[in-house]
Structure 1
């Protein structure tokens, strides 16, 4: 066998190992995390002047100097510290999968571990909605006779129960008890399940939707035909939940809002009403108290009031 053939076989083996490591890493992430990490890995690949599908890129040929250069290149393009650190985490995730499967050298893995995180704390992402904005969203849905009933129920669960958009998409009719108002979240982040007893307002909107939807099994929020009829076999996905809220925000005449903005609103309102932070954590389905604290927007209102009254 000549040198050219040997080199080609070696390259094919490297690509196969890299694909296994990439797949192993991504498959162990939640669907939403998988999408974002793939996007960041794609950016890292472009900075390394790689082209083609992610699965065909030689990830396990990366060494300390290359990863450090990717970090420096992201910094030069003024990427936010959080974006840089998350990109490094994605690269480390792939290389760790290669290391643990015996396909990546231990010494290089140790060196890459020493690459520091980018310091800096970004401004809080997203926003909280006011009570009047939530009411305007629901009113905009009421004015739509085709999809409005379903969308209002979705917005009610986002605002009054703090569900993630992926949780909205995965919940089934059988997960909700009309009698007790209990909703079981079976596919929470990190596969953590939780039970919620919905407040009266959320139950009202759900009752209206279930009356229109019917009691057929399947996803609680299915797709609708142009005539407003339910297709029980097709559930909404997270991106569609995001899109419908953007459309309803425009129709309501409020600033653009996302499902996570309503989740921030839910946590903030709980804390404003005197609920302790650990209970708020449990209701939101967070694992760490620090995560719940990031959703607390009470300080922004206090800061605005302080500056409004400031004078010499």
Structure 2
């Protein structure tokens, strides 16, 4: 087996091949992120061989870095596909591949307790962000679109300027590519639109590409061409912890969008369409709907005997 320094370029080429074969854009992004991070770690760690021990070392590194078991399980799944291709090409032998297959990551049992914010908490979160610094203006717009449009974080990361359009006389985000490559268009509420407009105005001269959101260094200079899903997660977690003193994740804001809209009178079907759910049952779970015995459906049947 070759050393890490010799195999890394070949591995990067193989990782690119594995990624490019995928049809789904979101899957390609996931594979690209996972494999890039693994190969960066692998090269820096100086492992003598690419084997199950190296993979176990990386998974332990992820665990010690605070990554969730779900993230670690996804990483292992992607690495198995890479090893499968390496075995096919003869880069690794059958025993090395079988050793990898024996690695197991126990997925968390049950479901994480969902978090929904109140309308007052959403307002406090947005109003408390600084509008004097470029970071604050950007983060406010990110939070506004997550809570006001119900976007997934990977959807937000992929937004481009050309998607900001008008439909039926109001601003929308068009052609959002969601799970399963399902396309949808979502209306932007006035208050979220104001946050977005402030960010677009402040970032015009900094923008490195046509992505709406990009990373910003501490000195205010632009970083990567577009912000990453992990970057969005960190932004939401940081501000919710500082402002609300509670842990909130991007998907909690998506659920909050659905619940607050539904409670305010939005039609369930319209909420489903805005979220991009293929099943109405998934939308009901997002809403946290419980059976209401005080206002039971049968009570609406005005039958006289």
Q: Deviations over 1:59-94 (max 9, x none)?
A: 5xx6xxx9xx99xx9xxx9x9875675455234322
Q: 1:4 matched to which residue of 2?
A: none
* Aligned position for 1:146: 133
Post-superposition Cα deviations, 1:89-118, rounded to whole Å, max 9, x if no partner, equal 234322443466687889998999899995
* TM-score normalized with structure 2 length: 0.59
2:186 corresponds to which of 180, 184, 196 = 196
Q: 2-side partners of 1:94 and 1:225: how far apart? A: 33
Q: Does 1:31 align with 2:29?
A: yes
How many residues were matched structurally?
A: 276
Residue 192 of structure 2 corresponds to residue 205 of structure 1 = no
Counterpart in 2 of 1:183?
Answer: 173
Secondary structure of the structure 2 residue equivalent to 1:183: strand
1:173-252 map, 5 Å: 173-177=161-165, 180-185=170-175, 188=178, 192-210=182-200, 212-213=202-203, 218-221=210-213, 235-238=225-228, 239-252=230-243
User: 2:301: which partner in 1?
Assistant: none
Residue 182 of structure 1 and its aligned partner are, at CA, apart by 1.7
Secondary structure, aligned partner of 2:165:
coil
Pairwise CA distance, 1:52: 3.1
1:159 is displaced (CA, Å) by 0.4
What is the root-mean-square deviation of aligned Cα atoms in Å? 5.5
Per-residue CA distance 1:215-255 (angstroms, 9 max, x = gap): 99833345679898x96x96451244334334432453441
Any residues of structure 2 matched to 1:96-115 within 5 Å, and which? 96-98=84-86
- Write the distance in 2 (CA, Å) between the matches of 1:220 and 1:201: 18
Secondary structure at 2:186's aligned position in 1? strand
- 8 Å CA contact 2:241–2:248 kept in 1: the answer is no
The runs of 5 or more residues in structure 1 that have no matched partner are: 1-6, 46-50, 303-312
Separation (CA, whole Å) in 2 of partners of 1:208 and 1:8: 53
Q: What pairs up with 1:50-69 in 2 under 5 angstroms?
A: 52=46, 57-59=49-51
Q: CA deviation at 1:207?
A: 3.7
Alpha-carbon contact 2:144-2:192 (below 8 Å) kept: yes
In structure 2, relative to structure 1, the CA distance for the partners of 1:224 and 1:26 (3 Å cut) is closer
Q: Give the drift of 1:135.
A: 0.6
Structure 2 gaps of 5+ residues are 293-305
d(CA) in 1 for partners of 2:99, 2:218: 57
- Which among 149, 158, 162 is matched to residue 161 of structure 1? 149
Task: State the distance in 1 between where 2:217 and 2:12 align.
Answer: 40
For residue 255 of structure 2, the aligned residue among 237, 240, 264 is 264
* Contact preservation (8 Å) 2:34, 2:75: no
- Could you say what secondary structure the match of 2:170 adopts? coil
* Aligned-pair CA distance for 1:126: 5.4
- 1:177 is paired with a residue whose SS is strand
CA deviation string 1:14-69 (max 9, x = no partner): 999866654433555443454456768999x9xxxxx636xx7435xx6xxx9xx9
Larger radius of gyration: 1
* Residues 1:103 and 1:125: Cα distance change in structure 2 (over 3 Å): farther
